[in-house]
Every structure is written in structure tokens, then in C-alpha cells.
Structure 1
Amino acid sequence: MSNPDRPGPGHHHPHDSAHPDWEVLGPHLERGAELYTPLYEQVADWLREPATGAPGPGSGGVRRVLDIGSGPGVVSCLLARAFPDAEVVAVDATEALLERARDRAVRLGLGDRVHTHPAELPDGLDALGGADLIWSSKALHHIGDQRAAVAALAGHLRPGGLLAIAEGGLAPRFLPRDLGIGRPGLQSRLDAAGEEWFTEMRAALPDAADETEDWPAFLADAGLRTPRTRSFLLDLPAPLSAGARAYVVANLTQARDMYGDRFDEDDLATLARLTDPEDAAGITRRPDAFFLSAQTVHTARAQ
């Protein structure tokens, strides 16, 4: 599972290949984050609600925001607009993505408030300083010891500051159960293969900790209080826009490349047809393709 800039099949992003081609993946990640923008606008509104204890956008209470695992900075810029008195620091290990973040901020007139910081997670965070809001989406699950990673982020909160972690939710759905081609239930088999791949990825991480992924408990263990959890829906009904269709095709292609060896010949043939732009049964042309996803966000506050 990845940052909002990095959603993929089952919310797992393409950052995990051994030698990623950022010339290809950077635009894909940016398009994905743009697709998810309506969802993350809802999240930003929720983070500003008085019920969360967060100061409103006009109060000036949020002066510094860290976006940990920012990717190409789509959400960093969104947070800059949501908290207009704040400096936003996009933090990522990949300089090519931070370059995209800087370019985007300048394009949107936010270059004076959105800055970048190259850092590996979690060991490279010491120089970041404090923040009133720390946001991290689908990045911490790429760290072996997730509990320790949450504690490391919590250590950068200013008094009363809010830590918001987007992890979990529901994997995207975009296919009818019976596609009219191949064996029904391909979406479920895609999800299962993605979960198997993700479990193996986690097990291979340095210092991988085998423990229940209880994010509110991780927040509490880090000494934070007033935990809140909420899930947000992205509902793009059929017929999809051309951009959304292209994003689904890219995700299906990514799934086939990353864990295609888990599918039988029938499913591989179906995936080939779904990703063929000339096939009437493919995502590019079929009228019933949709995009439905949910993202869960966990928050808690420093003393």
C-alpha cells in the first residue's frame, strides 16, 4: 500500500520494483493522485474540523506540515491549500519525485510554501524538525517495524500537533463480477494475488516485525491521545473518463507484471484483453468499467 500519490492494485504501488523507471512511474503516480484528489479533499476537510481538535484554516494554528512519503507532491500541494498559513515539506527518498513535487508547486503558485526534503524512512527524518500536522499515506507499511516508524513520526510533533496516517481501507474495484470474458470473479483473484505479494514484500523488509497491524494502538504506544479513525470513499461510476480508464489499464498491466505468475492461463488471457486498447471488451472501450475505493485514515494528537 502506498501513498495517495501511489495507489495501485490493492493500493500497492509500483515503487517496489528493484529498479523503478521514474520517467514512466512518476507520471503514473501523479495521475493516480489526481484521480484520488476528491477523496483527499474530503480528508483535508476532516483534518480541519474542530471536532478533531485541529485549528481551522484561518486560525494560523497549523504553521508547518510534513508529508512523509510524498511522492510527486499532489497531496503536499493539496495540504498547502487546505492550510494556507502553513509551510508544507514534501519528504521522499526519490529525488525524481521531489523534482515533480517542486515543479507542481511552482505551477500552482505554491512554490513559496511547498518545499522538499530527501530522506529515507524512518532513519533520515532527524533533520526535519517539528510540525503541527504530519501526514503519511501508504508509506509506513514499507518499513519493517511499523510501530517504531509511527513513534519516530510522533517524535516530530509539536505540542498539540496531529499525526494522520492513511493505511488500510478497501482495495479498488473496477470490474463487474462477470466480465463476459474469461472466468467470473477476476477482481477477487487480483486482490488475493496482490495480498500474497504484499505479505511476501513485508516479510522481506529489514527488521520486519510480525505483529497485528493495529494503527490506533501504534499511535497510543507513541504517547498520542484522542485517536480518531474514519474511512473515505472514492466513487467514480461508469462510464469512466479517459484518464481514469488509462489509470486502470496501467494498474492491471502493473499487476500482471508484478505477480502475473500467480494467475492461470485463462486469467492471463483475460488480462491481456482488458488491457488491449483495441478490444471492445477492454477497459478502454467497455461501458461498465468503474472505480470504487476506500481509504482509512487514523489520527491522534501529541500532548
Structure 2
Amino acid sequence: MAHHHHDHAQTAHHHDHTQIDFAEMLPLLEREADLYAPMYRQAADWLRERQPEPELIVDAGSGPGVISCLLADAFPQARVVAVDGAEPLLEAARARAERLGIADRFSTLEAELADGLGDLDYRADLLWASKSLHHVGDQRAALAGFAQALAPGGTLALLEGGLTARCLPRDIGIGRPGLQSRIDAVHEDWFTEMRATLPGSVRENEDWPGLLAAVGLRPTGSRTFLLDLPAPLSQEARAFVVATFQRRRDFLGEVLDASDLATLDRLLDPDDKESLHHRPDVYLLSAQTVHTAQRGEGAPAQ
């Protein structure tokens, strides 16, 4: 299990295009998390108001550990455990912690979130789960496992929802206006299919505070954080946008109409002056929502 960033599909063959190889996505996952780091730091500052001095932080679905390490920096007294189902990503997380000089209070646990977090030695004071829950078929059951992994008084911070990132104006001067909205609509259908094909998939109303309450936690607030990188983009941000659109081309190309596909191919052609590589109007605007809930001091979570 890894951080879900918006564009994650394994696409070698159409029949398995909803299967995701997170280890293969390592460079893109790291690039995105690094780019979004200012937003995650804002979220960490907000969480500090709710859980000022956690002794143990668990990042459930940590991916390559970018946010795990950021949380370790934001909470310098805390121990951090990065939990993920892909060992190559945990290896990258350990290497990052070593580079940042926090390896002495950083550890990893290989586990699938669907199987719970029962192998933790201690219960978490702060459990962070960023875009990982929706890769579990039975999200309610996984949330119940998260609740059980919390210490009494502990906080669960769930990053799910928000708004899909925008990178281009509605009319980019080539092709039919509204390209990105149509790509997003096709991606929504892909996401629904991905969810439906997960083992033990259960459809849920994505009322995250409601689901947190349903597993015995007390919702304590939701807040949306903004990543706003206006044009002209840095080289790093532009490279991320190109990689994101390339992934969309790879796994949605079969269902986009011919005119949109032709426009997308122009956007990805480094030799085309209208491409993402050269356009002055490329930006990155994204809103992501964190939902928090607390485990009661007395009664156990359900």
C-alpha cells in the first residue's frame, strides 16, 4: 500500500489497467510528495494544535516516506513508524531517514493496510493516512483497524478527498477547450473501476467524518490545504506535471476520444512549442482535505 497520488495505475495491458505497481512508481511518488511538502507542513502545523507532543507517529501507507520524514521533522520528540506493503518503498523511506539524520527514531513495518496494524509494538498517538485508505477494499474495516491502533486520546489524521489538481487553462489554444476536465471525468470512471476490483471491495458513502464516527472515534475537524504554484513553474514542478499527464496518457489513452488524444500527444511532445515542456501558462493548483478524529480516553474503539 502506498500514498495514493492522483495518477497511479499499472497499465501494461488494458485488462489489468486498474492494478497498481507502487514500487514502479517510486520516482513519481517521491517527486510529488517533495513538491507538495509545503502543504503537508501546513497540515502538520495544524495537527500539532490537536496532538502537540505525540510520542509515536504512524504513517499508514507511507510510500517512500517523504511525509513520514516530514512528520518526524515537525514533531522532533516523536518516534515515527512508516507502514507500507511495498518493501522497495520502505527501503527508500529508511534511506531518506538516514540522509536526514533521523534514523535513530525512524523505523518501518511491512504490512498491508487491509490486514490491520496489529504488528505495531505500541499504539500510536498520531496516525496519519494519506490517500492510502481508498486502496483498501473494505475502507470501514481498515478504519476500524486504524482506530484500534490508536492510543487512548490519540488522533487519526485521514487525508482523503479535496479537489483534483489543475494545471492548464480551460482553453489552451489547441484542440477542444476543456481538455483537462474531460481527462478528469475519464479518470473518475477509472478510479471507480479500480475501487470495484479491489479484494473485498465495499462501496461506501465517502463521508469521511461519518465513517470515522462509525468506527468509534470522535471527529475533531476537517481542513483543506492548498498547493498553489502559479505559472511560470519551476523546472521540478513542470517535470512533475509532464510525468502526471504522461501517466494519464498511458492508462486512459484507450478511452479518450481521438481529438483529445491528439491534443494530449502534442502536449507531451517536447519538440512541439505548444507542449507542456514549453508552455508559459502551465501551473499547479491542488486542494487536499485532512479529516481528524480522536480516540476516547476511556471506552475502547469499536
Verify same fold: TM over 0.5: yes
Match of 2:182 in 1: 189
Show the counterpart of 2:117: 125
Counterpart residue number, 1:258 = 251
Residue in structure 1 matched with residue 300 of structure 2 by the alignment:
none
Give the C-alpha shift of residue 278 in structure 1. 2.1
Instruction: Identify unmatched segments of 5+ residues in structure 1.
Output: 56-60
Give CA deviations for 1:21-60 in whole Å, capped at 9, x if unaligned. 83x52111100100100110100000012xx3x22xxxxx
Other-structure match for 2:228: 235
Aligned length, in residue pairs: 289
Shift of 1:229: 0.6
1:134-193 superposed Cα distances (whole Å, 9 cap, x missing partner): 000101011111111111101011110000000000000001101111111001001101
Q: Give the Cα separation in 2 of the matches to 1:19 and 1:302.
A: 32
Q: 2:54 aligned to 52, 56, 62, which one?
A: 62
Structure 2 unmatched ranges of 5 or more: 11-16, 297-302
Task: Report the RMSD for the aligned CA atoms in angstroms.
Answer: 1.7
Secondary structure in structure 2 of the residue aligned to 1:283? coil
Counterparts of 2:69 and 2:39 in 1: how far apart (Å)? 15
| Identity in percent | 58
Asked if structure 2 preserves the Cα contact closer than 8 Å seen for 1:232 and 1:294, the reply is yes
1:13 equivalent in alignment to 2:11: no
Counterpart AA for 2:21: P
- For residue 302 of structure 1, what is the amino acid of its counterpart? R
Distance 1:288 1:246 in 2: 14
Aligned to 1:58: none
Q: 2:103 matched to 1:111?
A: yes
Amino acid at match of 1:20: D
Q: Indicate the residue corresponding to 2:210 in structure 1.
A: 217
In structure 1, the residue corresponding to 2:117 is in which secondary structure? helix
Name the CA distance, whole Å, in 2 between partners of 1:131 and 1:257.
Answer: 39
Pair 252,66 (structure 1): closer, same or farther in 2 beyond 3 Å: same
Q: 1:242, 1:284 within 8 Å by CA — same for their partners in 2?
A: no
Q: CA deviation at 1:111?
A: 1.0
Question: Which residue identity does 2:109 align to in structure 1?
Answer: H
1:173 pairs, out of 166, 179, 183, with: 166
The correspondence for 1:81, drawn from 56, 73, 97, is 73
**Pair 1:137 & 2:138 matched:** no
TM-score by length of 2: 0.92
